[in-house]
Amino acid sequence: MTSESTTARVTLSHLDELWFQVTGTRCNLTCNHCFISCSPHNNSFGFLSRTEIQKSLEESRQLGVKGYYFTGGEPFLHPEMVEILEDTLKIGPATVLTNATVLKDEWLQRLQQAQSKSRYSLEFRVSIDGFDAETNDPIRGEGTFARAIRGVKKLVHTGFLPIITATRTWKDSEDSSMLSGFLSMLKQQGYSQPRIKLLPTLKLGAEQNRSGGYTDQQRVTGEMLQDYDRSQLVCEHSRIVTTRGVHVCPILIESPDALLSNDLATAAQKPYTLGHGACFTCYQYGAICSNISTGSGPSGASA
């Protein structure tokens, strides 16, 4: 039970990260661990238009936003994704979270040019959940490993250094061997200094069906936040724009209490009470939505 005195309320310190649910819940894949159950047929959130995004980008400048993130669904299903990233790179750094299965050489060449002209980085985060088809495809779908690797090779060939993000569908104790597997596979594919980020599973959406949801005890309390570095929490420095409005973080867009406002400035001022099991995961692992990668693994110098 969470009483009023132990409520875990988090105020945004500064809007460092602005996210866009650019293609809503539409994805060309149907991964069985997706925390918002994206699929080719899930239209519960729609596509944001380039004009809507331009408006938010403009508003964000007044708020001093530090970086822009694009997620979905699969962002590259958006017919104007390249233009949206080009718009963004004119004012700040952009990160796009993709499954890399639909990338076209022509788009990547344009984006490399846009990045060269900009003072800012364009980061690609590519989701791959196993270092071979046997481990990846049962989660992400038949043939997806080969398609994603083709995408990674295109990115590397165009000069990008994608961050490979893998959701930990294995035991924590297997991190080291999984990372070694990823590193050697990526090097074999011609990516000489791979960047990898491991993500915890979020037991929402499809993942809730796959591995079970959160228990009632898996909640963050006010006491737990004492002496805790709140900047590790996504809601302390981020907000996300969807077709429904501005939500507290990219993970909770389906929770009604996470929809804060229609405009950024108001949403930035609203504190949020950490009432969800997913908040517990965010608390436990910290910085789960940031771009920081690993080049080695938990064993340190052995890499």
Chain residues that interact with another protein, rule: CB under 8 A:
14, 60-62, 64-67, 91-93, 115, 119-123, 159-161, 192-193, 195, 287, 291-301, 303
Kindly state the smallest distance separating residue 135's Cβ from another protein, in Å: 22
Q: How far apart, in whole angstroms, are the C-alpha atoms of residue 297 and residue 126? A: 18
Kindly state the smallest distance separating residue 203's Cβ from another protein, in Å: 23
Instruction: Locate 72 and state its tokens.
Output: 């979905």
If you ran DSSP here, which 8-state letter would residue 295 be given? S
Q: How far apart, in whole angstroms, are the C-alpha atoms of residue 246 and residue 224? A: 27
Q: How far apart, in whole angstroms, are the C-alpha atoms of residue 303 and residue 300? A: 6
Q: Which is nearer to another protein, 16 or 137 (CB)?
A: 16
Q: Which is nearer to another protein, 143 or 159 (CB)?
A: 159
Q: Which is nearer to another protein, 123 or 129 (CB)?
A: 123
Q: Are 195 and 295 in contact (CB under 8 A)?
A: yes
Q: Which is nearer to another protein, 67 or 72 (CB)?
A: 67
Kindly state the smallest distance separating residue 58's Cβ from another protein, in Å: 10
For residue 72, the number of C-alpha atoms closer than 13 Å in the C-beta half-sphere is 32
Bond from prior residue into 73 cis (ω within 30 degrees of 0)? yes
Which residues are bridge partners to 180 per DSSP? none
Q: Which is nearer to another protein, 32 or 109 (CB)?
A: 109
Q: Is 192 exposed, middle or buried (0-12, 13-18, 19+ CB in 10 A)?
A: exposed
Judged by DSSP in three states, 39 sits in strand
Q: How far apart, in whole angstroms, are the C-alpha atoms of residue 278 and residue 213? A: 9
Kindly state the smallest distance separating residue 158's Cβ from another protein, in Å: 11
Q: Which is nearer to another protein, 75 or 194 (CB)?
A: 194
For residue 217, the number of C-alpha atoms closer than 13 Å in the C-beta half-sphere is 0
If you ran DSSP here, which 8-state letter would residue 145 be given? H
Kindly state the smallest distance separating residue 96's Cβ from another protein, in Å: 12
Instruction: Locate 204 and state its tokens.
Output: 């929402």
Q: Which is nearer to another protein, 25 or 98 (CB)?
A: 98
Q: Which is nearer to another protein, 24 or 67 (CB)?
A: 67
Q: How far apart, in whole angstroms, are the C-alpha atoms of residue 52 and residue 115? A: 22
Kindly state the smallest distance separating residue 121's Cβ from another protein, in Å: 4
Kindly state the smallest distance separating residue 214's Cβ from another protein, in Å: 25
Kindly state the smallest distance separating residue 293's Cβ from another protein, in Å: 5
Instruction: Locate 114 and state its tokens.
Output: 């846009």
